[in-house]
Amino acid sequence: MSNEKVILAFLNGKAAHTPTRDIQNGVYTYKGQTLKTDGIELINYSTKIAYHKNDKLFLNVKKYSNTTSHIQSKIKRLAEDIGLKVVGYEGV
């Protein structure tokens, strides 16, 4: 499942995850999950990126990596597209 599909599942309150893949001899092997959600929280590796509470979406705006920043931007854009109120917070 792609990052965008996991984000959309999260925004719709559904569980989803992407696999962590490792290439060995040209073959992808499953090694765990990178982006995952239980429908309430969205976690990238072990960092909480966003969560739902009281009809608002709380988005961690702390800078971690280029990939995480891309995911954060995509969450904000997709959430605003469906009319969710996005509240930024500085994660730890």
The pTM assigned to this predicted structure is 0.80
Is residue 12's pLDDT more than 70? yes
Tell me, rounded to whole angstroms, the distance of Cα 11 from its chain centroid.
Answer: 9
**Per-residue confidence at 25, pLDDT binned at 50, 70, 90?**
low
Separation between Cα atoms, residue 85 and residue 47, nearest integer Å: 21
Separation between Cα atoms, residue 58 and residue 51, nearest integer Å: 5
The tens digit of pLDDT for each residue in 26-63 reads 555 555 558 899 999 999 888 899 999 988 999 999 99
Q: Cβ(43)–Cβ(72) under 8 Å? A: no
